[in-house]
């Protein structure tokens, strides 16, 4: 919601979307931005750019590898499909290469200007990808969430 504390939203969404490479139960995979709150997406991108992609054995890694090379291929495929469907990709984590470990990482990715018909929304990506959907009102956000077939948890920042 536009009345939320922006800094709290940016910090929470960055951690929830990209932490554990987005491969944990209850990771935030879709952000529904109401009204002017969509103007905070560049702030989320700026924070995500600070995250270090690396191996799971380095303590300074913020975004570890995904579970398998097949998972990486699936995640990158869904990003590509969403882009082909009209999503913008203002932060692209495809083709990340961690020296010596080239098969396992996907960097923080933001899909913006998404609709509920795009792959980034209809599929659970299970990767470090935040799909951004814009609505004008809280009622529209609630309706959109209630119509989602996945029925996962939600949170509201207000």
- Structure tokens, 156: 């509201």
Instruction: Give the CATH class of 6-146.
Output: alpha beta
Which among 25, 114, 132, 150 is annotated as catalytic?
Answer: 25
Could you tell me if 126 and 71 are in contact, meaning their C-beta atoms sit under 8 angstroms apart? yes
User: Tens digit of pLDDT per residue, the chain (158 long)?
Assistant: 999 999 999 999 999 999 888 888 778 899 999 999 999 999 999 999 999 999 988 899 999 999 999 999 999 999 999 999 999 999 999 989 898 888 889 999 999 999 999 999 999 899 999 999 999 999 999 999 888 877 677 888 99
Q: Is 132 a catalytic residue?
A: no
The overall pTM is greater than 0.85: yes
**Residues near 142 by beta carbon (within 8 Å), at least 6 away in sequence:** none
- Token digits of residue 69: 């090379």
Other Cβ atoms less than 10 A from the Cβ of 135: the count is 18
Q: Map out the domains of the chain as residue ranges.
A: 6-146
């Amino acid at each position: 919601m536009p009345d939320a504390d922006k800094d709290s939203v940016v910090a929470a969404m960055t951690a929830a979307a990209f932490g554990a490479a987005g491969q944990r139960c209850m990771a935030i995979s879709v952000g529904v931005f109401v009204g002017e709150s969509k103007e905070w997406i560049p702030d989320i991108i700026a924070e995500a750019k600070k995250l270090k992609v690396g191996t799971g054995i380095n303590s300074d890694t913020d975004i570890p590898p995904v579970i398998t090379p097949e998972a990486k291929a699936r995640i990158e495929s869904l990003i590509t499909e969403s882009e082909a469907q009209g999503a913008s990709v203002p932060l692209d984590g495809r083709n990340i290469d961690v020296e010596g470990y080239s098969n396992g990482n996907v960097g923080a990715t933001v899909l913006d200007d998404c609709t509920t018909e795009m792959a980034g929304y209809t599929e659970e990506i299970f990767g470090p990808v935040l799909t951004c959907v814009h609505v004008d009102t809280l009622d529209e956000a609630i309706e959109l969430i209630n119509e989602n077939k996945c029925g996962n948890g939600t949170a509201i920042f207000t």
